[in-house]
Each structure stands twice: as C-alpha cells, then as structure tokens.
Amino acid sequence: MTYRITKEYVWVGAIPDHPGALAEKLRALSTGGLNLELILGRPDQPGRALLFVAPLRSLEEVEIAERAGLATESAFRIIRVKGPNTAGLGARVAAALADAGLNLRDFSAAALGEQAVINIAFDNDADGDRAKAILERVLAP
C-alpha cells in the first residue's frame, strides 16, 4: 500500500455569514481556474465565517486567491496523507503522532470508495515536518 504524504498550504479568508457568500467566493476562485482539493467553511463570529481552501501551489494561484479576498498572511501548513482506505488508518496515524508527543491543531479524514485523505494541522511548521517524517516511516509499504 502506497501513501503519498505531502506538505500543503491552506489559505484562509473571511466571508460574510449570509446566503450566497460561499458560492460567490468559490465562483471567483473557480473562474480564476483553481482546482481545489480542500474547501471548508466555518462560522467565526456573528455575521462572519471563515473559508479554508487548498492547495494553492503557484504564484498565479495565490494571486487569484488574493483577488478573491483570501489573505496570504492567514495561511498555514498541513500534512496531507492520500492513499488506500484501510480499516484503522486514522487511528494508526493519530497514534503514531501521539506517541511522538505531537499536538494536533486540526485533524480531518475522509474516504471515498477505496481512497482516503487525511489533513492534519500542527501548531508550528517544525511539528509538521516531524509528523511528515514519522508518517513516511509508519506508512511505508
């Protein structure tokens, strides 16, 4: 079983918390040609929500996101694990990171058929780098 473990930047922008605000922002990103793999909207405070998107890998994609109102100073790195959906994968990943004493800022996992993706955020880039190295060992074929 082969897993791809990458570092990705997640970009964050504030959007109004009203009907159509998310659609408007995603339309602007789509019109710019972005092909997003992660889209997450969350309430933030009364009247305001946060939109998280990833990946943005090129300068052109970052500029498109900035024109759509996503701020580069609000970006953070995640570790993304993609590969076969196996029973207990999330538990294996979480346990390996816990055993290493790493604190998780955010953890999300999803599976579609036989493929799984896990996105993990950390308190700092050094912890993310450690986590990537640990997961490369733990999930090695």
Rounded CA-CA distance 11/91 in Å is 27
Q: What's the number of CA atoms in the CB half-sphere (13 Å) around residue 67?
A: 14
**Long-range CB contact pairs, 40-44, < 8 A, 24+:** 40/108, 41/15, 43/17, 44/14, 44/17
Domains and CATH numbers, the chain: 11-70 (3.30.70.260), 77-138 (3.30.70.260)
- Who has greater pLDDT, 19 or 71? 19
Angle between helices 89-99 and 125-138 (to 10 degrees): 120
Residue 80: what residue type?
R
What percentage of residues in the chain have a pLDDT greater than 70? 98
Q: What is the pLDDT of residues 23-53, one digit of tens each?
A: 999 999 998 888 999 999 999 999 999 999 9
Stated pTM of the model: 0.87
Residue 119 burial by Cβ neighbours in a 10 Å radius (0-12, 13-18, 19+): buried
**CA distance linking residue 68 with residue 74, whole number of Å:** 14
Taking only the tens place, the pLDDT of each residue in 8-27 is 989 888 899 999 999 999 99
Structure tokens at 12: 């964050």
